Chain A
Amino acid sequence: MNSITLKILLITFVFFILGTAMALPAAAQDQGQVQNQEQKQPRFRVGVYFEGYMINDKNLKDFYHHSQRNLPGFEASIHTVYNIDVWASYRIYRDEAKTTFYEKTDKFRINAASVGLQYRPIRWKFLEPFVGAGLDLYSYKETVEAGSDVSGASGNATGFYVQAGTYVDIYKFIALTAFYRYNGVKKTLANPLPDGSKSMDLGGHEFGGGIVVRF
């Protein structure tokens, strides 16, 4: 993703947060109307999904020889006001390769957690589109097979995400979901990589679909 696209997404995210913040006080003035609307929709959503994660970091893609990993994810949200939910997700990114000469097994894992807001502006027939944004909280770890004199490493990284998608109502309590998410998670390394790189970009594109239970 180029820098211009990233800026547009950031601006969208800022306006979204600002709009939500402005809407909440107005909601308090028309509380009765709001309460009618709120009572018509479920408060909690819990779902699982399956996604493709296209990680940005070129070194990771080169070393582990994958530009995309498919992985399951979990999400949950709580409805607040004006079709705005507090939303969270957790997924595990895994990859594996061999060390370059002795071919010891080298495993790489990212525990990716995201927390943010999600806005569902309208409901049109059985579709309920949404947009969202928030923080990414990643931890990563590399583990090399025992017996190797190459050591692994671990660390944490933070960033942001923006996403868009839609729910597809099937039954009153069940909906399908499809989404696209972009993560911006960069890390400056204290110790450079063997090729001399000093930064790492764990962010990337996610797209996938799942099923959500509403209640």
Chain B
Amino acid sequence: MKRIATISAILMIVSCIIAANGDVTRPRIQTKLSSETVRLSGMPGETASPETQEALVVKTIKISGNQAGNKRYPGVCENANGDRLVIFRGPNVSYMYSFARKDASWSAPATIPNQPKMKSCTCSDVEADSTGRFHCVWEDLDKNLFYASFLDRKWTTPIKVNVPGRHDMGSSIAVRSNDEVVIADSNFVKSPNNSKEIYLYFKGKNESHFKFKNITNDRESSTTPSVAVDANDHVWVAIKSDLNLHSTDLITSMYHFDQNNNLVSSKTLSVEGGWNFWPQIAVNSEGKVMATWVLAQSADYFSRLYNPKTKNWSSIERVGLGAPTKPWAAFWSKLAAHGKDFYLAGMNSGRYLHLMKYNEKTHRWANVATVSDDPVYYFDLYSGNDKMLIAWDNANDPSNVYLTTVDVPPLGPSTTTHKISGKVRKDSSGLSGVSMTGLPGNPTTDSSGEYSMDVEYGWGGTVRPQKSGYSFSPLSITYSNVTSNQTGQDYVAFLAIRSVANLKVEKRVERGFFNGYTLNILTWEANPENTELGLVISAQRVYRKARTEDNSKWARIAELAGSVLKYEDRNVPSDSDYVYAVTCVDNKGNESKIY
């Protein structure tokens, strides 16, 4: 009996140990997701980072309506008004959508109207512009890429984006501040190399079709691009590159284009070759650029951060989430910037979806929310106004689309400062001692004519350069809601030429006995300030208007030599009441103000 009790006790201890180990190795699943749930973030997967986790409110709702089929490839976006749009693959090889006004309920899923017939619709992406319009792309795998936009519950007719070749795999969309849509995709072109090239497509706000640009000419197997736009409307693209077709030596590359789409720089980001897939790229409010990618044989995600101030890329950081390795090509991730923060949505080896956040101080990624209780097939991540939005579909068949929101600090004014800087030029050199009024502290230009001042995030105001004896072009620059560094805020200074002094007007009549006319005699003196400034007055211009007219009515009636001190305005109506101004023009063509 005693032996039985001892054996029983040993077995209980072993059972407890086994049970305890099971809890560690399996994600915690708290509720089913068919109805809305609220919970605090859970533990990440077994390879999660040891970073301290934040307590964030996570909510999940079901978007789709139990349609037949699986692999929904959802895309999600929230515009500045707080309206949300989710698109996803429906049951009939077509894309569906569901829309919700801010704080309102979601519409029933419906098919996007007028879709071209597709063979196999796959990935999608959504972005919003400044007007709240949603811009959407979705793929017909190995065939076409389609685009349509959505505003006020109305869709535009979908159009085919890729013109050269055929669309291959992977697409991403971004919008510039002028609402120009930028799309990156992988395109298979037969000529000259039967290669997969990365194309950028651009569509202006009022344009109906896309212009395109091949950014990877002569590559062999470039696919799965991601695109982001920074505050200066520069375009950043991360791609999977393959210099040897069908090899497994894949790398992640980055391209940076300016606002005119000229290449600024490019760089290979990954060092370790292999299945670098689905690279992602995002730019935060400080202009820092984060790129991430997954490396299959290492079963994890990796990242690098670019600092525009130092113009350096960090070393490669391992995210530590783990990553699935099967099925092939289905280990995507999604990256988004929210204010200064970067968030990465990724699946661990069990295909459970997690939201990771980057800590710039420790250079580590930390799990902030466990999104799914079920294995996930595909997902999209978007930075909302005060939430991270994750649309995902589970790996079941049929599968449903869910939207998980994770509370994050709201976007808006922060204590971040941005730099307003530039140079005041006079002729070919800088002008020192110019007071930049309107900037905090009214800084002055240094000996090389340069100025710089930090302003708080969202700062607004009008900056006006001032220095005695000088005028400036532009006269001032007005800022509103500064959210990024404002460099190159340059002014041109020129000597402030003055108008003539002591202008007098005398009305006289010139007449014989039978005929005559009225004339106004203008006399003036050279302005001594012009003389003191050493200005060479090459011409003087006489302006006239009726006394009762406003200043827009000044009309030039004569141009005189610079030394003339008198002008006779003849044949004016005898009952006229004119006022006059005489401006000075220097030998560089600068003209003084009328007053």
Contacts and interface: CB of A to CB of B under 8 A. Distances in A.
A160 B325 CA distance: 131
Interface residues of B, number: 12
A153 B513 CA distance: 9
A50 interface: no
Contacts of A193: 513-514
A99 interface: yes
B22 interface: no
A194 B570 contact: no
A152 B512 contact: yes
Contacts of B512: 63, 99, 104, 106, 142, 144, 148, 150-152
Interface string B279-298: 00000000000000000000
A194 B515 contact: yes
Interface of B: 508-517, 519, 570
B571 to A, nearest CB: 8
Nearest to A154: B514
A101 B508 contact: yes
Most buried by A among B510, B512, B516, B517: B512
25 contacts: A64-B513, A97-B513, A99-B511, A99-B516, A100-B509, A100-B510, A101-B509, A102-B510, A104-B512, A108-B513, A142-B514, A149-B517, A149-B570, A150-B511, A150-B515, A150-B517, A151-B515, A153-B514, A153-B515, A191-B514, A193-B513, A194-B511, A194-B514, A194-B516, A194-B517
Contact of A194 (B508, B509, B519): B509
Given A101-B509, A152-B514, A153-B514, 20 more contacts: A59-B513, A63-B513, A99-B511, A99-B516, A100-B508, A100-B509, A100-B510, A101-B508, A106-B512, A108-B513, A142-B512, A142-B514, A149-B510, A149-B570, A150-B512, A150-B515, A151-B512, A191-B515, A193-B514, A194-B514
A118 to B, nearest CB: 34
B513 A60 contact: yes
A64 to B, nearest CB: 7
Contacts of B519: 101
Query: What are the 10 tightest A-B residue pairs by CB atom distance, in nearest-first order?
Result: A153-B514, A194-B516, A101-B510, A194-B511, A106-B512, A150-B512, A63-B513, A144-B512, A101-B508, A100-B511
Contacts of B511: 99-100, 150, 194
Contacts of A144: 512
A153 B200 CA distance: 82
B166 to A, nearest CB: 82
B461 to A, nearest CB: 55
A104 B510 CA distance: 10
A149 B512 CA distance: 10
B373 to A, nearest CB: 100
Contacts of B516: 99-100, 150, 194
A152 B513 CA distance: 8
Contacts of B509: 100-101, 194
A151 B508 CA distance: 18
Contacts of A63: 512-513
Given A101-B508, A101-B519, A106 B570 contact: no
Nearest to B516: A194
Contacts of A102: 510
Contacts of B570: 149
Interface string A22-66: 000000000000000000000000000000000000011001100
Contacts of A191: 514-515
Contacts of A100: 508-511, 516
Nearest to B511: A194
B565 to A, nearest CB: 18
Contacts of A97: 513
Q: By CB atoms of chain A within 10 A, which of B509, B511, B513, B570 has the most?
A: B513
Interface in A88-111: 97, 99-102, 104, 106, 108
Contacts of A59: 513
A24 to B, nearest CB: 44
Contacts of B510: 99-102, 149-150
A155 to B, nearest CB: 9
Contacts of A101: 508-510, 519
A65 B426 CA distance: 63
A74 B424 CA distance: 88
Contacts of A64: 513
